[in-house]
Structure formats: structure tokens, C-alpha cells
Amino acid sequence: MNFALRVMIVDDEPPATRRLERLVGALDDTEICGLEHDASQVVARCRELRPDVVLLDVEMPGLNGVEIAERLRALPSAPVVIFVTAFEHYAVEAFDLDAVDYLVKPVRSERLERALERARVRQPDDQATLVSRIGDRTITVPVAEVCALVAEDKYTVVHHAGGMALIEESLVSLEERFPGRFIRVHRKALVARNSLRGLHRDADGQERVEVDGSEYCPPVSRRNLPVVRKLLMKKD
């Protein structure tokens, strides 16, 4: 049996909310953890309720769904977003924000079920570990404790709560295994989103990111600097 997927429904129109509530409620292994009609309250409610998935309307008074999705990405336990809207022209923006799917109203039950199954696959595995082998010694590091990953020669250095470890898995492979958990700050470095603390410029003029749980400050490339700054602003 699958785990119960916790779903929050966000829509300012009561008829649309009721329809989604009915469709989600009819699915197995899925539960509604919250309903929200006020766009300005969505981020705070997600911090409180920690949904796995947010069914997010795009057109709402005040903040629109795209703006809300950008803010949700900065949460330590960011939910997966599925956009639900009557306007198809938002699709490109939706997938730029790493939304798992894009549903057009009126939502059909079978289409919603497929979208939620895709969201289920995207859920982070908090029990996952990275395995480091040095000679006859094996060390397992919980992914939830990893704050940074740095490529060096043929290995990846894992900076974690207990220190450092070496693994053979590449940064690209790690990004694919744990989508959304890490942000690339440099071609040779990934940082856990929830470990981003700040930025500073070193004596050589290189921008470096400060990481919770580690004294190591990975360099930030010019290409990735705008994204890092944007995420840090949303955490303030």
C-alpha cells in the first residue's frame, strides 16, 4: 500500500474547491490536509500543515499561483506543486518552476489521479542514505543530514552534520535521485536548499555561499548567483 499523500487545495473559487475536494477525497491513499482561499496565507499554511502536494490555482486576487510557487520552493520542506487553472498559457512558467503537472479546468478524475501519482514519485525519501566505502570501512550518511556535495577528481565530497565522507556517485546522478532537495551553485557543487544561509565575497572577489551545518563555503558561479540570491531573499 502507498503512503497517504497529504494534499492542500488552493483556489479562491468555492465551486472549484468543492470539485477538487470531491475528486481528491474519492482517491485511495490520498488525504486532504487543508483548504485555502486566500493567496496571501498559502505559504504560512504550508509551513503549518506541511502538505506533500499543493493543488494550486493560478489566477487569484493578490499573489498569483506562479508567485506563490516561487515562494513555496524556498520552504525547508517544500511541497510538490500541481497547477490547476483554466488558462493553458501558464504551462511554460509552471514547468520552469519544476511543477510536477499542469491541470486545466474542469479537472477530470483520471487526469488528477495521474498527476498525484507523479507527485507521489517525487516525494523525498527522508530515510535515504549515501554510502561511503573506504577500504573495508563503510559509512552511511542520511541524505536529510547532507548540507553540501562537492565534486573532486573522481569522487564527490559529502559535507554533512557529522563531518565529511567520499562517495563515487556524480553530482548529476545525485540531482536526478533527489529532485528539488539540492540547488546547484557551481558546476562542481550542490547545496541543500534548506541549508542555504547567506552569501559573502572572499578576498579574491569570489562569491561564496554560507551553509548551515558546515564551515565549507562553496563558490557560486555567475550563472547560478541570481538563483541563489533569489532563494536567500525568500528565506528572509
Rounded to an integer, what distance in angstroms lies between the CA atom of residue 71 and that of residue 164? 31
Task: Report whether the peptide linkage leading into residue 106 is cis, meaning its omega lies within 30 degrees of zero.
Answer: yes
Question: Is pLDDT larger for residue 29 or for residue 18?
Answer: 18
Half-sphere exposure of 109 (CA within 13 A, CB side): 8
- State pLDDT tens for residues 35-46: 999 999 999 999
Q: How far is CA 21 from CA 45, 93, 112, 174, in A?
A: 17, 25, 11, 35
Most confident of 77-81, 87-91, 126-130: 77-81
Tell me where in the chain the CATH 3.40.50.2300 domain(s) lie: 5-121
Domain 129-235 fold = OB fold (Dihydrolipoamide Acetyltransferase, E2P) (2.40.50)
What whole-number distance in Å separates Cα of residue 195 and Cα of residue 209? 10
Q: What is the pLDDT of residue 88?
A: 66
Fold of 5-121: Rossmann fold (3.40.50)
Give span(s): CATH 2.40.50.1020, the chain: 129-235
